[in-house]
Copies of this chain bind each other. A is one copy, B any other.
Amino acid sequence: MRRVKILGCGNALPERKIVFGDQTRYRLGEGQTLLDLSEQAIRNALNDAGLDISDLDCIIGAMATPLQAIPCNAALLHERVAKGTEIPAMDINSTCTSFVTALDMASYLLDAGRYERILIVSGDTGSAALNPNQKESYELFSDAATAFVVGRGEGDTGVLFAAQKTWSEGAHDTEIRGGCGLMTAFKFNEENREDYFFDMKGIKVLKLAARVLPDFLSESLEQAGMTLEDIDVVVPHQASKALDMIMSRLGIKPEKYINRVSEYGNMISASIPFALCEAIHQGRITEGDVVMLMGTAAGLTSNILFLNY
């Protein structure tokens, strides 16, 4: 076990709310950016933890998408909340599961004494690249940001087990081909416009996830010396309305997992930490609970992490 304790967390949603049938989504307002949302989430998290930015000694940006090609997202977050300090800033990215990868890494850094208190910030604004012609994805995503302050745990509090796998046969099932190094903005024109939008082959992703996740989960439980019965709350990535189907396939009962897809949709890297923070603040997760964070990400990557909260 690696000692980690969640000291505080905070969520931030844009005010603009749109509705597709029974599904509610949130999108940035005019002039608002992901940095604004992130700053709000960070201030909420620091407030929740009763800490000041000077109490932190590392800032990790755990977002799926870059704000700028240079510098990294964490440096831009640092400018918003930590300017004048020397706190190191870096990004860790595994797309939608970036928060889980970052928490996993942070657990080693905290347990080994490298840092005392780490800020992990996740968030994305799918709206920057949603394609109005791809209804399935256009109506699925919300813009959001979440921040967590994590410190070294005491006693039994910490990461019990974590694993990650990538199956790159799914590398192009969820992607944004244009805008960055492989196809720069300079190449943008009316003919290749679609390449600059978010593109998701939903059925392919779902099939690949349904094929690989059951083995990954049973292997992880075995390696951790646990069974599904040992887990109190499952916080899955809120990938799509197929969440219930995937959970059922994994043998996870509806009362055990959190499903906020109709309220928020897919918030990309913010999905897991947003639902986790909400569940903590609502008292659904309490001290001593064993929590499973899990999800799939573009790649296709999947992360599983068992946390003794």
A residues with CB within 8 A of B: 2, 33-35, 59, 64-72, 74-76, 78-79, 82-84, 86-95, 101, 105, 108-109, 111-112, 114, 124-125, 128-129, 163-169, 171, 174-186, 188, 196, 198, 212, 297-299, 301
Q: With the chains together, A129 CA to B125 CA distance in Å?
A: 24
| Consensus secondary structure, chain A interface | mixed
Q: Which residues of B contact A76 (CB under 8 A)?
A: 168, 171
Given A68-B177, A108-B112, A176-B68, verify A75-B166 contact (CB < 8 Å): yes
* Complex contact A168–B35 (CB within 8 A): no
Q: List 5 A-B contacts (CB under 8 A).
A: A66-B180, A72-B298, A83-B168, A108-B109, A179-B184
Residue of B nearest to A125 (CB): B181
Quick check: A71 and B95 within 8 Å, CB to CB? yes
Q: Which among B59, B66, B164, B165 is the interface contact of A69 at CB below 8 angstroms?
A: B66
Question: Given the complex of chains A and B, what is the CA–CA distance between A179 and B297 in angstroms?
Answer: 22
B75-A168 in contact (CB<8A)? yes
Known: A76-B171, A298-B70, A299-B72. A87 touches B184 (CB 8 A): no
Q: Which of B75, B105, B109, B180 lies in contact with A65, CB distance below 8 A?
A: B180
The 5 closest A-B CB pairs, nearest first, are A71-B298, A88-B164, A185-B185, A75-B299, A79-B168
Q: Which residues of B contact A105 (CB under 8 A)?
A: 105, 108-109
B residues near A168, Cβ cutoff 8 Å: 75-76, 78-79, 82-83, 89
Q: Given the complex of chains A and B, what is the CA–CA distance between A183 and B78 in angstroms?
A: 19
Distance of A71 Cα from B268 Cα, bound (Å): 12
Closest to A102 in B: B90
Q: Are B184 and A129 in contact (CB under 8 A)?
A: yes
